[in-house]
Amino acid sequence: MKVLEIKNLTKKFGDFIAVDNMSLSIEDGEIFGFLGANGAGKSTTINIISGLLRANQGTVEILGKNSKFAKMNIGMVPQDLAIYEDLTAYENVRFFAGLYGLRGSELNERANEALQFVGLEDKHKEYPKNFSGGMKRRLNIACAIAHRPKLIIMDEPTVGIDPHSRNYILNSVRKLNEMGCTIIYTSHYMEEVEYLCERI
C-alpha cells in the first residue's frame, strides 16, 4: 500500500522554482530519508504535503486520497517549533490532538501516552518556556503523534539540540516505525539518515 504518492510536483515563488517536477512514492512501513542541501526545497515539499502551501502543478495523495480527511492521517513535526510557550506541556499536546478531533477521556489518555513516549511525563505540568531546546523538540513530537497518525513527517528534528535529546529522538523514530508508522525523515546529517532509513 502506498502511504504517499507525489506526482510531478512543481512549486514556484514568483519566477523562482523551489520544487521542480518532483515525483515520489512512499510505501507503508518505510522510514524514508528526505535529503537535500539547504534551500533544496524539502520544507516547501513538506508544506505542500501537509496542505500549508499550494502547488503550481502536480498531485499529492495520502493513503490513496486527496482530501482534508486524508490529512488527519499525518503527524507533522515542523522545522520551526510549533508549541505554545504559555500552555503547559500537557495542554500543548491536548490542544494539537484536539485539532485532530480527539475528545474527552480519549484525548487525555492519548496526550499522556504521547508525553510518556517522548520522556516528558514528569514535566507535563511545566511550561515549555523553561525547557531546553531538546525538550521543546520532544514536546513538538508529542504534539504530532498523540492522534496516532499513519504517516509522520519530521523536518530536521535534531538541529541544534543536545546529544541526549538527539538519541532520544532517533530511538523514538525507530520505535514509532516498529509500532506501524511510516516516516519521512528530513535531515542533512548523513549519519542519522544512514542509521534510520532504508531508502533515501
* Window 34-63: contact mask with ligand ADP (x via CB under 6 A): --x-xxxxxxx-------------------
44 is an interface residue for Mg ion by CB under 5 A: no
13 is an interface residue for ligand ADP by CB under 6 A: yes
Grid coordinates belonging to 88: 503547559
Closer of 168 and 192 to ligand ADP (Cβ): 192
Give yes or no for a contact between 143 and 113, defined as CB atoms under 8 angstroms apart. no
177 is an interface residue for Mg ion by CB under 5 A: no
Residues 6+ apart with CB under 8 A from 123: 89, 115, 131, 135
Give yes or no for a contact between 165 and 132, defined as CB atoms under 8 angstroms apart. yes
Size of the site for ligand ADP (CB under 6 A): 11
Residues 6+ apart with CB under 8 A from 122: none
Residues 6+ apart with CB under 8 A from 180: 29, 150
Closer of 82 and 99 to ligand ADP (Cβ): 82
Binding site for Mg ion (CB under 5 A): 42-43, 79
Binding site for ligand ADP (CB under 6 A): 13, 16, 18, 36, 38-44
